[in-house]
Structure 1
Amino acid sequence: MIRAIIVDDEYLARQRVIKLLDTHPEIKVIAEAKNGELAVEVIDLKEPDLVFLDVQMPDFDGFEVLKRMKPKQLPYIVFTTSYDSYAIQAFDIHALDYLLKPIDEDRFNASVQKLLKHFEVQKTSEFNQKLMKMVKDFERPQDDFLNQITIADRGWELQVELDEVLYIEANGNYVNLQTPDKTHLYRSTMNTISDLLDPEDFLRIHRSIIVNRRYIKKCSYISNNEYEFTMKNGKVLQSGRSYRQEIMQYLG
């Protein structure tokens, strides 16, 4: 019996995996975790054989979960993600599986068959080394920033060029990517996406707002260390006081 833990901040996403596992009696779900911090605790305590791990979560992401895990033997990881093509490429290079949300049943079954073959042979230290190497490789150099985002929607994939994004606003567990003609909903935290953006092109003016420097039409001081940004599409955005230093550097 393969003992599995499901980690995802969305209840319905966890239930989707549980339902898909109904036809795979070889795998038993022993626990669920709704955030990264709880995931680390449960994984260390239960020492599962398998973890279905969400990449993006509000507190810290799936890669941070991997770095903080301290079980005697690392579990097999199947990522569940709406992440960009760079991450998917990293999974492929390091022979780790991933499931793109919304999870397709046939793709899920293929993933299960793949991991069952891995469990036929005892995992070696080489596999564990590959896993941690993938985590290390994913930590990009500071000069290698995200320039394109892949958005998955009902089985379709849409490429959004960040050069075309005027500004980004927080929207719960998602962010709104505002282009000149459309608003795209992308599952990410502001901190996660901010770390992947080139600071030469993007400026964070509020904990919930990031603006593309090239689309700023005017910046005006309001009061109390707050500024008003008028974008080229006419949208007016107000900064937060705690971002005064970043804005002053932008203004020179």
Structure 2
Amino acid sequence: MKVIRALVVDDEPLARARIVKLLEQAEGVICIGECKNGREALRQMRDYQPDLVFLDIEMPDLNGFDVLQQEALKPLPFIIFVTAYDQYALKAFDVHAVDYLLKPYDDDRFEQALAHAREQIQTRENAELHQKMVHMLKQHEAQQTPGLQFLEVKDKGRTLEINVLDVQYFEADGNYLIAHTGSRRHLIRQTLQSVADALLAGQFLRIHRSLLVNTNAIERVQYDGNNQYTLHLHSGQALASSRGYKTEIHQYLEARGEDA
């Protein structure tokens, strides 16, 4: 069963301490941090990506709803609101909160909310596992047929063929494509998507709408925060990813046995 990584956000130290103590007694849950205001919560949710957040509503600077509206947090973790005010209950469920703990609450009510969160997290984990299996099957099917091996390029009026395995990365340039092979650049009259579709699965990694990187050219992957990475190539080149391709990078790292 997945270990649930929880974050506690409340401007009252005693309220935070109680939740942390209850989490310590719960099986299969770890508390990865505490926050005393909305800005701290935003930073830790963005950097550590918890599975579950116990979130107060009325706090200094950003309140709980303000935090959840930040684009940097998409997709959101599961949320259990913990508050002394009952007037926010309807709004809480409008943002798909797992539960709404109204202070003061007893231990049984806390366990009930945590159990509900476990069910929701397990459901999402099962769905993600299914998606991974479907992706693996598609990759296997794609590997049964040879992918693109050579590309025609123009060089001083001549037409040459380059081996795609010699390309460190492809870079989109309008309706053209630049193939980077060491110190040379080759202009190709194709789109990045058309080449990506023709390549053998696993040979290249899409990290940006304009970048397609040869996996054999990657030396290491550095996490920069906010679901963005820098890929360092053996050649010394550094390429920045965009947040929209975090899933592809996660899958690549998992295949290499590295943490995402």
Q: Tell me the TM-score range normalised by the shorter chain.
A: 0.3 to 0.5
TM-score by length of 1: 0.46
Q: Which protein shows a greater Rg?
A: 2
TM-score by length of 2: 0.44
